[in-house]
Every structure is written in structure tokens, then in C-alpha cells.
Structure 1
Amino acid sequence: MAETYEGLKRQGVEPEMVFTFRGPSLALISSDHTDVPLDQEQHYEAIAEQIKQLQAKPNVHMEACSVAARLLKVDPDTLLPGIDFVGNAFVSQIGYQSKGFAIIPIF
């Protein structure tokens, strides 16, 4: 995603990005890794660092779906700093799309 951001800048486009996390992706933005094998903890730490670097860029916003958090029992207090809860990520994405944002799903 950082490469995409920088690529837009090189082409003279001022990036405005919103990352919406829903479903199982909430595990990537949670600091609770009690169920993660110790040998995989470093992957989550690397993801947290990448997120922190992206958040430091202008016009980058991140949101987490509270519906997914409830269903997957992800404690909102464990979210990485700077990630906002929204009621429903689908509704949020529809709103952004209606404002002209492109939706790029990442699986």
C-alpha cells in the first residue's frame, strides 16, 4: 500500500486513502495475539509497523468494523492506535464509494 501511495504521488496525484478492516482482518490490527504461536508474533509486529508508517502519511485514514469485532470477539481496546471504529464497514465503504473513492478489496 505504501508503494501505491508513493506511485500516486509520482504521477502528480495527491493520495487520499481510507483502509477499512472487516472480518478476519481485524486480527491484523489487534494487539491481542494470545492465540498466535510465538514464532508468528513477529509477523503481527511487522504489520503493526507498516500500519504506523502508513498512518504517518498525509490523507491516510483507517477504520475497523464494529460488527466484525463483535462477531469475532475482538476487544475494541486492543486495536492499534489511530484506527477508528465504525458501525459497519460495508456502510462506510458505500459512503466512500458514493464520494468517488475506488474500492480495492484485499484478501
Structure 2
Amino acid sequence: MKKMIQVLIILLTTIFAQYGLSAEVLSNDKALTGNKEIKAYFDVNIGEPDKLFIRLKMIETTYSQFLASGISPHFIIGIRGKASNYFTKDNDYVLDVDIPVKKKIASMVNQFKAKGFRMEQCSLAAGMQEISVADFLPLVEVVSNGYASMIVYQSQGYAFVPMD
């Protein structure tokens, strides 16, 4: 896989050079050197559906980039605040106009779970949003206190990544 990415970069650089375009190759090689695995906790709490979806796509891209670099990522997504409304089974907690994005988010939850992500919904946030614990997607684990999870995961070496 790494070899294929290198070949693709060389190919694109050649094409850009041929047409007078510059292709600066960016990397995180210095930061990645010596790492075989990483652990990250993403604090997802944004209640704007389009921004929420973009943040989830960023998490997915980060995961893929780690894999492409030969690093085994272990990701936990902590869900709090108004983001909670988009991780429910039914559409009762979002506006009708937001349902298409909510469906995309549900699809991402399935993809994340298939990749081994852990997804935790804070029950305190659920209560603040007046969402019943039974209403969350089955692949999302509801925990009693998302703040407690956040603290414990950091003490276990997980990098804390705020997502708004």
C-alpha cells in the first residue's frame, strides 16, 4: 500500500511538472517516525449538522492517513452536547431539513464501527437534550459521564482532540 502511494505521488508530480504546475508534497513524516500505533479521543459536540458531518469526515481522513503510513490508529469518538441529536435511531430530535445529513452520519457510524472505532454518548448530554438513552443508535455506547471517560482515556495515553 505504501509503495502504491509513493508511485501515485511520483506520477502526479510528473504530470504537474509536465504542465508547468507545482506539486508540493506534504507529509507528517517527522511526527510519525517511530510510531507503530496511536490513540486518540475525539470530543464531538457540535450541533450544526453540516459542520458535524465535516468533522466526522476529518476523523475518517485522519484514520486513513495513519493506516497509509503504517500506523495502527485506535480512535474513540465521544459524543456530547447538541451533536447527540444526530446519533439517534429516529428523526424526532432534528429538523426535517437536517434528516439527509443525519442519515449520512448514521452511515458513518456503521463505517466507523467496522473500522474498530469506539463511539460513546454521554448520558449527561443526552439528558440535557432530553433524549432517552434507548433512542440512540445501537452501535453508540451510552456512558454515564462523558467527562469521566474523557479524563480516564487521557490518563491511558489517548490524545485529546477537540472537535468544536
* TM superposition score normalised by structure 1: 0.91
The equivalent residue for 2:111 is 53
Deviation at 1:34, TM superposition (A): 2.4
Deviation at 1:45, TM superposition (A): 0.4
C-alpha distance 77-44 of structure 1, shift in aligned 2 (>3 A): same
Q: Does 1:88 align with 2:145?
A: yes
The equivalent residue for 2:162 is 105
What CA RMSD, in Å, does the superposition of the two structures yield over aligned residues? 1.3
The equivalent residue for 2:27 is none
Q: Which is higher, the Rg of structure 1 or of structure 2?
A: 2
The equivalent residue for 2:62 is 4
Deviation at 1:9, TM superposition (A): 0.8
Q: Structure 1 stretches of 5 or more lacking a match?
A: none
Preserved CA contact (<8 Å) 2:85 2:129: no
| Aligned sequence identity (%) | 29
Deviation at 1:33, TM superposition (A): 2.1
CA distance in 1, matches of 2:145, 2:109: 21
Q: Does 1:17 align with 2:82?
A: no
The aligned amino acid for 2:90 is D
C-alpha distance 39-72 of structure 1, shift in aligned 2 (>3 A): closer
C-alpha distance 2-68 of structure 1, shift in aligned 2 (>3 A): same
The equivalent residue for 2:133 is 76
Q: Deviations 1:8-59 (Å, cap 9, x if unpaired)?
A: 111121010011101111011012322533332111001110111111003x
Q: Does 1:26 align with 2:68?
A: no
Question: Aligned to 1:44, which of 72, 87, 102?
Answer: 102
CA distance in 1, matches of 2:153, 2:75: 10
CA distance in 2, matches of 1:100, 1:44: 31
